[in-house]
Structure 1
């Protein structure tokens, strides 16, 4: 995409960005990248956009590309297509994380375009493996500076002024159909089936097929109404720094992810894998003890370092030689319902490399597959009854300027066809105990289960 003119206008600052987004929440291709402010300690930037100039939707071997000239189809690699439509880029405004570009999701199953994986699990959802819009304007909210602005490219002056006016005031939310959950969430793995899958993984580990395999169960409920209303409730009970709401024509995505997958800022690369979890407790002393237990857990540290090594190797493919470092190992970060063990891996993007080259070569994130990655994904395909879809894929932005920030799509609900689904799981290693791992999946699912209970008819 060729950019001739960059545009910028300051906007009034509103602390609750969801109130600003509500006016466009029901429009197709509206996106809200939500930092969880003020309830998330890491919350700073929120991004709001709609009306993309180009959309790219990948299903199977083809991608449908829609722009002002009509609809085209391509069998090109989806990552390469997004890179091509972003164009050559330009010098970014360093004070703004997103200067226009791509926003959307890359599902876990998009990896089938990259690797020759078996096809065993059911594809019950039948939704796109990738859905990305190319946005020529966006509203950026900076909660640290308490400033907001409208950024854009090549927008007609009258249209630009209309956007400035629209996002300078809060308006009443449009009347939306009440969101209702019609049944208790049903898992695709009862405890016996989970135990069988767990035992099979332990056998694979013993045989040396893998060192760690992530096993997840899916929960599903019938529902009706507008999913945006569910997301507004979700961000109150489980705010997280890498949250998002995507309203796409075929699917709505409600993410409250605590995990950064890949960030690129001015060529600096960062990934923050999570491995290790303890539930939050209501009593302060007991909750602080959970932090101590997690930080000292040899099992969780061993799991974490396996994934750190995997991600060091992954990002090294696109980073300058010798630039990959681990500045922070085994830090405990606390969220609304759980404590997590988080490490930070950094590097410097090599000359001639693009953020999408990095995303492609690291996809999907190693923290939600296991190690080694491909063999672990083959085992996941064998043992999980249903394809993961958007779960464990990635949601975020890739800017015209080459900057990028993406999450790991965990703690994420997917809404389509009067159904809402989410997954929860964890890494299995040699010294894992089935009862503990099964319970951990429910600890991670707790906020999402409570959310659906809140809307149960």
Structure 2
């Protein structure tokens, strides 16, 4: 499909990005992706609103349906893959409780795309909507946000502290048996009768997190508010890149103590082992779709600092084989190893037995396809899921369990990762 491009030069993005999202949220279908000035992302920010066509699916043949959709529109597509698409890649199931009730897969072909780039705002509209560009630009500049009042509600744990510690011990037992050597174990925090302003909550979450793969997603009454620091998979021309995170340390309140945390994380043998295990898993996933000899570890166990935590991140790349469809490339690597453990299939089977909630969109991926079949997807972590009609709110956190795991420390790591979500909801 043909799109007209129009650039408006901008000097100051600081307030304009919020205005752009506030304007965008007036639509029923919205995806906003924000890199928060981090260099890892292709773009500073992009907004996609309104749908010309879309696909919403359960896991059955989901990747094949997505491939057909991408082929048919020959245009941009924005949306998400839920964790439970694992049931399409392998003979698995998801039988745990699912109160958020999001589709397993959702993508839409947007009417309007506005990209924040170095020069300003780049409008990418269908040719028949060209006359709306000036009107929308004026509306964005005049957009203001009404103040909302926070309402109190109780956040509950789906899994009690005692139950979680028992689950970690069971995971360690399975690891000692030798069928699996790392399990990413998650737990859900939730609230019923929760009333929030999704946009305000996202803006608060993003302001205290400032991560490179932040996301605001809206599908009518369903919202994802994400402060994700992690890239699942990116395709630029023929190069695929995955950047798994394994290894977390909290920020400290003085430069000296904070520097000590970085050094401690960099030399933590347990965290390094977790990271290297997942790097090997990603290398294996990519090897099935890569040109021979092209899989490379570009960075191993690099330490990156964010507002709330320090993270250990590795980067693995390869050259995609000719004639492999982009959706098949994603399917070959899905779900991401950083959210499963290794070996992947065995880990996912134990996850289903141990956890108390269906993951759904949590530990899935949000992103986009371009008309020339490039793509970029995050990992849905550090995120709030909200069903406005049901007034159901949820966020989940997890940690990687290995043979050296200490249940109490794993529980504390979960609380650390939940800190930002709790802060904006309190």
User: Secondary structure of 1:364's partner?
Assistant: coil
Instruction: Give, in whole Å, the separation in 1 of the partners of 2:286 and 2:335.
Output: 12
Change (3 A) 1:332 1:311: same
Residue of structure 2 equivalent to 1:36: 36
Q: Deviations over 1:345-376 (max 9, x none)?
A: 01111111122111111111000100011111
Please tell me whether residue 442 in structure 1 is matched to residue 415 in structure 2: yes
Instruction: Give, in whole Å, the separation in 2 of the partners of 1:216 and 1:114.
Output: 21
Change (3 A) 1:388 1:271: same
What is the correspondence of 1:14-25 to structure 2 with a 5 Å cutoff? 14-16=12-14, 17-25=17-25
Q: Name which of 392, 399, 409 aligns with 1:419.
A: 392
User: Secondary structure of 2:98's partner?
Assistant: coil
> Shift of the alpha carbon at 1:399?
1.4
Instruction: Give, in whole Å, the separation in 1 of the partners of 2:101 and 2:396.
Output: 16
Instruction: Give, in whole Å, the separation in 2 of the partners of 1:204 and 1:254.
Output: 34
Instruction: Give, in whole Å, the separation in 2 of the partners of 1:191 and 1:231.
Output: 28
Residue of structure 2 equivalent to 1:366: 337
Residue of structure 2 equivalent to 1:189: 159
Contact kept, 8 Å, 1:82 with 1:102, in 2: the verdict is no
Please tell me whether residue 299 in structure 1 is matched to residue 256 in structure 2: no
Instruction: Give, in whole Å, the separation in 1 of the partners of 2:72 and 2:92.
Output: 33
Residue of structure 1 equivalent to 2:304: 333
Instruction: Give, in whole Å, the separation in 2 of the partners of 1:53 and 1:89.
Output: 10
Residue of structure 1 equivalent to 2:289: 318
Instruction: Give, in whole Å, the separation in 2 of the partners of 1:433 and 1:395.
Output: 32
> Shift of the alpha carbon at 1:247?
1.0
Residue of structure 1 equivalent to 2:6: 9
Instruction: Give, in whole Å, the separation in 2 of the partners of 1:181 and 1:384.
Output: 30
| TM-score, normalization by structure 1 | 0.87
Contact kept, 8 Å, 1:89 with 1:402, in 2: the verdict is no
Instruction: Give, in whole Å, the separation in 1 of the partners of 2:31 and 2:134.
Output: 18
Instruction: Give, in whole Å, the separation in 2 of the partners of 1:194 and 1:377.
Output: 17
Contact kept, 8 Å, 2:9 with 2:119, in 1: the verdict is no
Instruction: Give, in whole Å, the separation in 2 of the partners of 1:56 and 1:250.
Output: 17
Change (3 A) 1:435 1:115: same
* Runs of 4+ residues deviating >6 angstroms: none
Contact kept, 8 Å, 1:23 with 1:174, in 2: the verdict is no
Instruction: Give, in whole Å, the separation in 2 of the partners of 1:348 and 1:283.
Output: 43
Contact kept, 8 Å, 1:101 with 1:136, in 2: the verdict is no
> Shift of the alpha carbon at 1:78?
2.1
User: Secondary structure of 1:438's partner?
Assistant: helix
Instruction: Give, in whole Å, the separation in 2 of the partners of 1:320 and 1:164.
Output: 46
Task: State the superposition RMSD in angstroms.
Answer: 1.9
What is the correspondence of 1:70-149 to structure 2 with a 5 Å cutoff? 77-87=61-71, 100-142=75-117, 145-149=118-122
> Shift of the alpha carbon at 1:181?
4.5
Residue of structure 1 equivalent to 2:218: 247
Contact kept, 8 Å, 2:28 with 2:219, in 1: the verdict is yes
Residue of structure 2 equivalent to 1:233: 204
Instruction: Give, in whole Å, the separation in 1 of the partners of 2:341 and 2:71.
Output: 34
| TM-score, normalization by structure 2 | 0.93
Residue of structure 2 equivalent to 1:270: 241
Instruction: Give, in whole Å, the separation in 2 of the partners of 1:329 and 1:383.
Output: 30
Instruction: Give, in whole Å, the separation in 2 of the partners of 1:41 and 1:140.
Output: 16
Residue of structure 2 equivalent to 1:70: none
Count of residues in Structure 1 that have an aligned counterpart in Structure 2: 418
Residue of structure 2 equivalent to 1:432: 405
> Shift of the alpha carbon at 1:189?
1.2
Contact kept, 8 Å, 2:59 with 2:105, in 1: the verdict is no
